[in-house]
Amino acid sequence: MSDPKDPIDPFPTQAHPPVSPFPPLDPPSDWNSGADAHDLPTRENALVALGRFAFPPAPALDEEGAASRARRWTSQTLFVVCAFLMIFNAGSVQNWARQQPPGWGQSTVDRLATVWVEQLELLGADLPVEGLRQAWREFQAARFDGRTDVSD
Amino acid sequence: MLFPTLAFAVFFLFVYLVSWSLDRENGRRKLFLLLASWFFYAQWDWRFVGLLIASAVLNWGVAALIVRSDRAGRRKLWVGLGVAANLIILGFFKYYGFFVEQAVDLLAQFGWERDLPLLQVVLPVGISFFTFQGISYVVDVYRGKTAPAESLLDVMLLMSFFPHLVAGPIVRASDLLPQFARVPRLTREMATHGLLLIVWGLFKKTVIASELATRLVDPVFFDPSAYGAIDIAAAVYAYAVQIYCDFSAYSDMAIGIAALLGYSFPRNFDQPYRAASMQAFWRRWHISLSSWLRDYLYVPLGGGRKGLWSSCLNVMITMLLGGLWHGAAWTFVAWGALHGGAQVVERLGRAVAGDRKVIPTWLGVLITFHVVCVGWILFRAETFDLAMQMLVGLGRFETFSLVTPFVLALIVGGLAMHGLPPRAVEGLAERLKTAPSPTLGIMIGAAILLVEAMRPEGVAPFIYFQF
């Protein structure tokens, strides 16, 4: 409902409040025109109340608690990133291992990565990335005259 | 150890896990971060870790002497000595050979052939950044703008903290020391923002900057006489994109890495090629350096307080020294002179035209971008001769050989980044911060995999490492 006194109200409904044709009540009415039936307290579902009783919600986190939860969430995210890349980007680990000085650790990492890369190839799980890489290389090799550069 | 490498990823994960496991002991956490930073720096040259330590001890000691001095004259003396000592360190390692060569040439012109002691001084990586940080710390303590550090450990970590150590941003004591006072609080927003900045930086550096460098910029700048106008013009635009993508990528990754460790660094780039004037360009490009030069050089020189001509002179001096900061070569001084000169012209223009808008914004952006591009020729060319060959070559119309659809797409894409909403990464982080960790982890992992599929093998050092 628009307020006629509000200067920014774009559509004032009335210039002045209506004048009641009835004499004022004595004592005045307790009718609350601003009240809404939805504001009245409603009865809580019994199951919800029971659940709340059985498993009371944790108190609101303090600053330290919130920071701790954010740290846990970040660590989990980083863990998922690492796991995802270890699974689908083992080729990088393989490349890295081949650039290291030879030794037991280097050869172990290299062999593990090589086996994993081959297993992924057998599964066909490398196809999306290889497809993208191939398309990217073709784009790199394209020339304005329609030829492709074999060096790419 | 470069950011976009597997070795750095392993190093960072180790630092992340150990540093947060020390979250109840701020002192130990800082000590661990300091040791990790020294280890990181030692991967370039372990001998210069001593220089880093000496520089931190020097600045901590000078700041302590300033605080303990009760006489204004003595405080002034200490700050002067502190700044001079920092400049001597920087001058010796970075400019010794340059100035000796100039002195030999000068003496030879007067008929004095002298064998001055020429030393092959190895430039410690990041020296320009950590000495500027040291100077700002001493001056800020003198001015009362920042409280002296609680301990030597804080000053050492301030100057050595590995995310900003080798190529900035120049994080001031007033920004970082208060954050060292307690164990930082990580928020989801910081973490998401940090992760997105790392991926975005990885893309800009390894895909755009690296490809443009190897396919177009390096060959053309190496021998401009072998190419025609289209290749040369494309190489200049490509270098504008390359240096932006390279340096802003480093800054983004530094800010992101620091954010994951709980620290907040100031923004260093703000879509610089959107600037409609040279003054605006310097408010958007390498913000930590331009604000440093403003606060510790331009303002002490008098700034704009003494009238138009004085402010023009001060801008010119500031930009010349800013150019020299980038490297010990006359091409960098000329680059600074071009930027200073352009800003002087703008100031004079504003003095004549007042508040009237003389040229439309789009034209201002176009002119500013091209003045900046001319500056990049001086910045990138090894010698004045090569820079002149580039400029002359712009008038030599021949068939092009290096411009391909791929290179053109990278240039256009690099420039189109400036059309993104100004706070696009922050906006995306705000949306993603409520995502479950597995979802966000897979999204980030897939994005890195995408970048890995597109990037060339190997990674070149960042351009600003040489400064």
Q: List, for residues A45-83, the tens digit of each pLDDT value.
A: 888 888 888 887 777 767 778 888 889 999 999 999 999
pLDDT top residue among A15 and A60: A60
Q: What pLDDT score was predicted for residue A40?
A: 67
| CA distance to partner chain B, nearest, from residue A130 (Å) | 8
Residues of A in contact with B191 (CB under 8 A): 70, 73-74, 77
The helix/strand/coil state of B195 is helix
Alpha-carbon gap: B367 to the closest alpha carbon of chain A (Å): 29
CB B253 within 8 A of CB B169: no
- Using 50, 70 and 90 to split pLDDT, how confident is the model at B438? very high
pLDDT digits (tens, 9 = 90+) for B336-372: 999 999 999 988 888 888 778 888 889 999 999 999 9
Q: Which residues of B touch A81 (CB under 8 A)?
A: 195, 441, 444-445, 448
Q: Over 60: is that where the pLDDT of A12 sits?
A: no
Question: In Å, what is the CA distance from A138 to each residue of A129, A146, A148, B222, B292?
Answer: 14, 12, 8, 27, 45
| Residue A85 contacts B, CB cutoff 8 Å | yes
- Residues of chain B with a CB closer than 8 angstroms to some CB in chain A: 5-7, 13, 16-17, 20, 23, 185-188, 190-191, 195, 211, 260, 403-406, 409, 437-438, 440-442, 444-446, 448-450, 452-454, 457
Chain A CA closest to residue B13: A78
Q: What percent of chain B has pLDDT over 70?
A: 96
Q: In angstroms, how far is CA B174 from the centroid of its own chain?
A: 19
Instruction: Please name the member of B13, B20, B457 whose beta carbon is closest to the beta carbon of A71.
Output: B20
User: In the 8-state DSSP scheme, what is residue B296?
Assistant: I
Nearest to B195 among A77, A84, A88 (CB): A77
Q: What is the mean pLDDT of chain B?
A: 88
Residue B56, pLDDT > 80, answer: yes
Residues of B in contact with A73 (CB under 8 A): 188, 191, 437
Average pLDDT, chain A: 79
Q: Is A86 on the interface with B (CB under 8 A)?
A: no
B286 counts as catalytic: no
β-partners of residue A142 are: A148
- Is the pLDDT score of A7 beyond 60? no
Q: Considering only the beta carbons, identify the residue of A73, A82, A129 that sits closest to B188.
A: A73
Please indicate if any CB of chain B lies within 8 Å of the CB of A132.
yes
Q: Which residue of A has its CA nearest to B406?
A: A140
**Would you say residue B448 has pLDDT above 90?**
yes
What average pLDDT does the segment B388-404 reach? Answer: 83
Give the containing element (helix H, strand E) for B223: none
Query: B395-430 b/e with 16+ CB inside 10 Å = b?
Result: eeeeebebbbebbeebbeebeebbeeeeeebeeebe
Contacts of B442 in chain A (CB under 8 A): 80, 84
* A77·B442 Cβ contact <8 A: no
Alpha-carbon distance of B448 to B195, in angstroms, equals: 11
Which residue in B has a C-alpha nearest to residue A133's C-alpha?
B453
- pLDDT for the residue numbered B34: 94
The CA distance from A148 to A150, in Å, is: 6
For residue A84, the chain B residues in CB contact (below 8 A) are: 441-442, 445-446, 449
Q: What is the pLDDT of residue A2?
A: 47
Asked if B7's CB is within 8 angstroms of A71's CB, the reply is: no
Best mutation target among A81, A89, A96, A133 (most B Cβ atoms within 10 Å) is A81
**Tokens describing residue B252:** 């983004």
Quick check: B448 and A85 CB within 8 A?
yes
Check whether the bond before B438 is cis (ω within 30° of 0): no
Which residues lie below 8 Å from residue B141, measured CB to CB, with a gap of 6+? B63, B66, B67, B147, B148, B173
Tally C-beta pairs within 8 A across A and B: 101
Confidence at residue A147, expressed as pLDDT on a 0 to 100 scale = 66
Q: Name the pLDDT band for A15 (thresholds 50, 70, 90).
A: low
| Residue A93 scores a pLDDT above 90 | no
Q: Is the separation of the CB atoms in B327 and B123 below 8 Å?
A: no
Are B376 and B212 in contact, with CB atoms under 8 Å apart? no
Confidence of residue B334 (pLDDT cuts 50, 70, 90): very high
Question: Are B191 and A77 inside 8 Å of each other by CB?
Answer: yes
| B242-278 pLDDT tens trace | 999 999 999 999 999 999 999 999 889 999 999 999 9
In chain B, the residue whose alpha carbon lies closest to the alpha carbon of A135 is B454
Among candidate residues B164, B326, B339, B370, the one labeled active-site is B326
Chain B hits for A127, CB-CB cut-off 8 Å, are none
The predicted model gives B281-295 an average pLDDT of 91
> Which residues does chain B have within 8 Å of residue A150's beta carbon, measured at their own beta carbons?
none
pLDDT band at A25 (very low <50, low <70, confident <90, very high): low
C-beta atoms of B454 and A67 within 8 A: no
- CB of B204 within 8 A of CB of B245? yes
Q: Tell me which long-range contacts B297-301 makes (C-beta under 8 A, separation of at least 24).
A: B297/B321, B297/B322
Look at residue A1 and tell me whether its pLDDT is greater than 60.
no
Q: What is the pLDDT of residues B139-179, one digit of tens each?
A: 999 998 888 888 889 999 999 999 998 777 888 888 888 88
Residues of A in contact with B211 (CB under 8 A): 140
Is omega for the bond preceding B4 within 30 degrees of 0, making it cis? no
Whether residues A139 and B7 touch (CB distance < 8 A) is answered with no
In this prediction the pTM is 0.82
Residue A94, token pair as written in the block: 């393989």
As a whole number, mean pLDDT of residues B281-307 equals: 88
Question: Does B453 sit within 8 Å of A144, measured CB to CB?
Answer: no
- Cα(B336)–Cα(B416) distance, integer angstroms: 27
Residues of B in contact with A129 (CB under 8 A): 449, 452-453
Predicted local confidence at residue A13, as pLDDT: 55
Residues 6+ apart with CB under 8 A from B410: B207, B208, B211, B212, B238, B241
The CA-based angle B116-B117-B123, given to 5 degrees, is 125
**Which tens digits make up the pLDDT trace of B95-144?**
777 777 777 777 777 777 766 666 666 778 788 888 999 999 999 999 98
Give the pLDDT of residue B320: 92
Distance CA B49, CA B160 (A): 9
pLDDT higher than threshold 60 for residue A151: no
Whether residues B442 and A76 touch (CB distance < 8 A) is answered with: no
